[in-house]
A and B are shown apart, each in its own frame.
Chain A
Amino acid sequence: MKMKIGAVAVVLTIVSLGRSEASAKSSLWVYTSIYKEFIRPIEIAFEEENPTVDVQVYQAGSEKLQAKFEAELLAKRPMADVIMSSDPFWTYGLSQRDLIIPLKSGKKYETNYYSMMVMIVHKSVETSKRPKGFSDLTKGEFSGQIQMGSPLESGTTFSTVAYLSRKYGWDYFKALSKNRIGSSGGNSAVIQKVESGEKKIGIVLLENALASIKRGSPIEVIYPEDGSIPIPSMQVVTKTSGQRDVAEKFASFVMTPKVQEMLRKGYMYSVRKEVPPPEGARALTEITKNTTPWTDQNIEEVWKEGQKIKQNFSEIVLE
């Protein structure tokens, strides 16, 4: 008797929880690695222009976003309509795996903003004792003072390692390893280490650094002389999307000056030339003077060599 009551209660609870979220509007699922604080206004603006659409956002770091969508693919129930990820290689991979449809612009994928990988330093470090560029980090005077994320755990760190290993070769990382560089977690962990003074110098996303400085964090940004590392965020519309039109509409909406301006407020660089750099940041052209830009070709190469890059890094730095 009691078992039956128990069993019925379990079923009822699950069913009622499952049902309570149903909605009359059509839902558009957007998977994004843009922080909640900044994706929310975009979501609202789109809904205002399209009152019949209910935008649902899954926000998480590019790694979790990837794990979630891959799990959905495994279950043969992909949910996302639009994916905007700060991991350009995975997004590119989706297009190669025939999982997406072309956007209105005709492209398979589209860069909708840039994040910038720069350096930060604890403000107690004298200006003369600060590194000027990524290449300076191999100097003995910075031994034991540098922190970066781990390419095994963070998508943007992976992009950074991919970029630097192409630009300076793996010898660069051998030198960093000799300099006892710390490597764990993602951008947030790097800021925490530098903010607390545990490490003096960090390699980190500009948007995270600027937001922390605004909150009173004792760190300062160094724009590397050898060029900040741009990390393109890419958007795609999935092949399994039940409402391609709305999805495409959302993707074009993100490219409009209005939304690009919103992204700027979140300390990201717009892909539109007329939109100024984020508050407190230098101009894109200035900080990428010495940057080697990403091309479709080398994005494809990195996508194919991803496993090898992680393995090399592990062997050189992590073991």
Chain B
Amino acid sequence: MILLIPLLIFFWFPIGELLSHVSWAQVEEVILSSSFTKALLQTFWSGGLGALLSVVVATYFAHFFAQAEWRGQRLQRLLLLIPYLIPNFVLASAYVLSWNPATGVLGAHLPLPFALYSLSGLSFVFGVAHVPVAFLLVEDRIKKMDPALFEAARLSGASSFQTLRKIELPLLMPSLVSGFALCFALNISAFAIPAWIGAPERVFTLTYKIYQTLQMGGVEGMTKAPVIALVLFLISLPSFVINGWIQRREQKFVTVGAKPSAKGGSSLLSRRSFVIFQICFWSSQLVFWMLPFAAQILSTLVPPGCLQLEGLACLSEVTLRSYRYVLFELSETQVAIVTSLIYGGVAALTIVLISLTALNVGSTKVQRLRFLDWIFAIPLATPGAVLALAMIVTYSGKYGINLYNTAAIAVVAYILKHTSLCFQPLKNGYLNISPTLFEAGRVFGATKSQVWTQIKLPILRSEIVGGFFLVLIPILGELTMSIFLTSPGFRTIGTVIFDLQDYADHASAGALSVLLMLMILFLNELARWISRGRVGY
């Protein structure tokens, strides 16, 4: 228990320190302005509609993925999850390239039924970006349900649609609600998508307001931004609470499943519905990301502006110039790849250690684990820029620790922000292991630490490897915090992409983004390979 306090201080103190500079007058000023109210409403609507889209699409697909088996399923599943593996700013810029109102390269042949730069457009891209998150949650839930439940319904005379409506959906309701809550929380805290899709037509969200406040707000901006961040946090609070409540309730349902991995329902899926599913799958994936990404990749291979002006006629001018430039001529890239991997690796490793320590402290006490969830979730819910400034204010020696202008401050910020991502799956894995396995270790002569090294760690191995990669991936593309916390010799792939964009070299920035994408896909495969398929997507 005593170790909870240092963890609490480590994870919460910087944010608290920054908030301590806020005055009540500023809170009033922020909250009473009309642009704030507008941004709040737009955040709410776009986040909610986006989450709804994610959950509906994800549920339909999960219904098939969890219950049927077919050739090429693993590949299709990976394709479905790709938007999750790609940094959001790449997805957003691909949409701008494809569907901007004037020169969208897909707009002429495949128009969206709404304007891209609008509240609907913003909600749509949010939805696309987080389908994978909802999918993973719902699929897991369906897999844990006993197929006999559906078989019983069919034998009682229900059609497959009736079974879906009267048995499957009601049973799924808890995870649908928690999937919605999770997507909503991710949507309202996202920055890249609102910046690319919302800002051009002034559909501002709270995260964008925070960015504007920090950009040109001067000293006041620095203390006003955390106020907006706090509001943002408060509106995401209900979704956290609902999620926790649902999960607790769901514990009771878990016993429903007898054989978690059995795919007994496949015989009950009709051929016709399967074909319809395949058509929906491929057409939606084409529109959601395949075509936009293809356009994005193509645009890095031709001269700037060419694709928009001349369309596919550009293909005669294909050149790898941008790739050559970022890989071999821009000296920063190679350094950035190496340092990203090193600092990202150190941060990810420390996160794994902290998560394991926290698990040890929390052990199997549900109350403590829930408290730990909170400790880690709050920095995750704090916008990166605000967290970065909090780090500067706290760690420049004011409290005896001076990490400023060293790589350590960025590494610590990465740790604060991402621990939750590693702790969640690790905790779930841990709770799924019967405690008797650990008790048996003690009874048969192992000390506490021997139980850790010889039983807990080996059993949790794939969750540990998975957690490591799960945090390494976002850290590699991390941008917002890295820019503020840069120090001599500190270059990450994210900051190089940002610099290139800042310098209006969009072709090179695009090329480097594509390389980052390939690197992430490679890491994913590596994680799968190391964990023998138990980790990764």
Residues of A within 8 A of B (CB): 1-3, 5-7, 9-10, 13-15, 17-18, 20-21, 35-37, 56, 58, 60-61, 63-64, 66-68, 70-77, 79, 90, 122, 124, 150-155, 158, 182, 184-188, 191-193, 195-199, 208, 211-212, 215-219, 306, 310, 314, 318-319
Cβ–Cβ contact A3 & B393, under 8 A: no
What are 7 A-B interface contacts by the 8 Å CB criterion? A1-B449, A17-B406, A67-B214, A74-B222, A191-B506, A198-B102, A211-B504
Cβ–Cβ contact B100 & A71, under 8 A: no
Can you add 14 more A-B contacts, CB < 8 Å, to A68-B484, A154-B216, A158-B216?
A2-B449, A3-B3, A6-B353, A6-B356, A6-B357, A10-B350, A13-B350, A17-B406, A63-B216, A75-B393, A77-B396, A150-B199, A208-B504, A212-B504
Closest residue of chain A to B485 (Cβ to Cβ) is: A68
B383: min CB distance to chain A, Å = 13
The segment out of B151-159, B244-252, B438-446, B486-494 that lies at the interface is B486-494
Number of contact residues on B: which range applies? 35 or more
Contact A36:B222 (CB < 8 A) given known A68-B392, A197-B308: no
Contact A67:B407 (CB < 8 A) given known A3-B3, A199-B102: no
A173: min CB distance to chain B, Å = 15
Q: Which residues of A contact B182 (CB under 8 A)?
A: none
Cβ–Cβ contact B408 & A18, under 8 A: yes
Q: Which residues of A contact B324 (CB under 8 A)?
A: none
- Most A CB within 10 A of own CB, among B304, B361, B411: B304
Cβ–Cβ contact A74 & B304, under 8 A: no
Q: Which residues of B contact A218 (CB under 8 A)?
A: 303-306, 309
B35: min CB distance to chain A, Å = 7
Q: Which residues of A contact B221 (CB under 8 A)?
A: 67
Contact A76:B407 (CB < 8 A) given known A90-B218, A196-B97: no
CA distance A77 to B389 in the complex (A): 13
Closest 9 A/B residue pairs (Cβ): A17-B408, A6-B357, A77-B396, A197-B103, A1-B449, A75-B396, A188-B504, A191-B504, A71-B392
Contact A14:B506 (CB < 8 A) given known A3-B357, A197-B103, A199-B102: no
A157: min CB distance to chain B, Å = 9
A34: min CB distance to chain B, Å = 11
A230: min CB distance to chain B, Å = 20
Cβ–Cβ contact A195 & B222, under 8 A: no
Q: Does B404 contact A (CB under 8 A)?
A: yes
CA distance A154 to B389 in the complex (A): 19
Closest residue of chain B to A27 (Cβ to Cβ) is: B488
Contact A196:B504 (CB < 8 A) given known A71-B389, A158-B216: no
A285: min CB distance to chain B, Å = 27
Cβ–Cβ contact A14 & B412, under 8 A: yes
CA distance A35 to B501 in the complex (A): 12
Q: Which residues of B contact A2 (CB under 8 A)?
A: 356-357, 360, 449, 452
CA distance A186 to B393 in the complex (A): 27
Q: Which residues of A contact B506 (CB under 8 A)?
A: 188, 191-192, 195
Contact A74:B200 (CB < 8 A) given known A124-B309, A216-B303: no
Cβ–Cβ contact A217 & B304, under 8 A: yes
Cβ–Cβ contact A17 & B407, under 8 A: yes
Q: Does B211 contact A (CB under 8 A)?
A: yes
CA distance A135 to B197 in the complex (A): 29
Q: Name the one of A77, A153, A188 contacting B397, with C-beta atoms under 8 angstroms.
A: A77
Q: Which residues of B contact A122 (CB under 8 A)?
A: 305
Q: Does B403 contact A (CB under 8 A)?
A: yes
Q: Name the one of A35, A64, A208 contacting B484, with C-beta atoms under 8 angstroms.
A: A64
CA distance A17 to B406 in the complex (A): 7
Contact A215:B353 (CB < 8 A) given known A64-B484, A79-B405: no
Cβ–Cβ contact A74 & B449, under 8 A: no
CA distance A319 to B204 in the complex (A): 10
Contact A13:B411 (CB < 8 A) given known A153-B212, A198-B100: yes
A112: min CB distance to chain B, Å = 20
- Most B CB within 10 A of own CB, among A10, A17, A196: A196
Q: Does B56 contact A (CB under 8 A)?
A: no
A277: min CB distance to chain B, Å = 20
Q: Which residues of B contact A79 (CB under 8 A)?
A: 396, 404-405
Q: Which residues of A contact B6 (CB under 8 A)?
A: 7
B34: min CB distance to chain A, Å = 8
Cβ–Cβ contact A3 & B489, under 8 A: no
Closest residue of chain B to A12 (Cβ to Cβ) is: B350
Contact A14:B398 (CB < 8 A) given known A2-B357, A3-B357, A198-B103: no
Cβ–Cβ contact A58 & B398, under 8 A: no
Cβ–Cβ contact B404 & A77, under 8 A: yes
Closest residue of chain B to A123 (Cβ to Cβ) is: B305
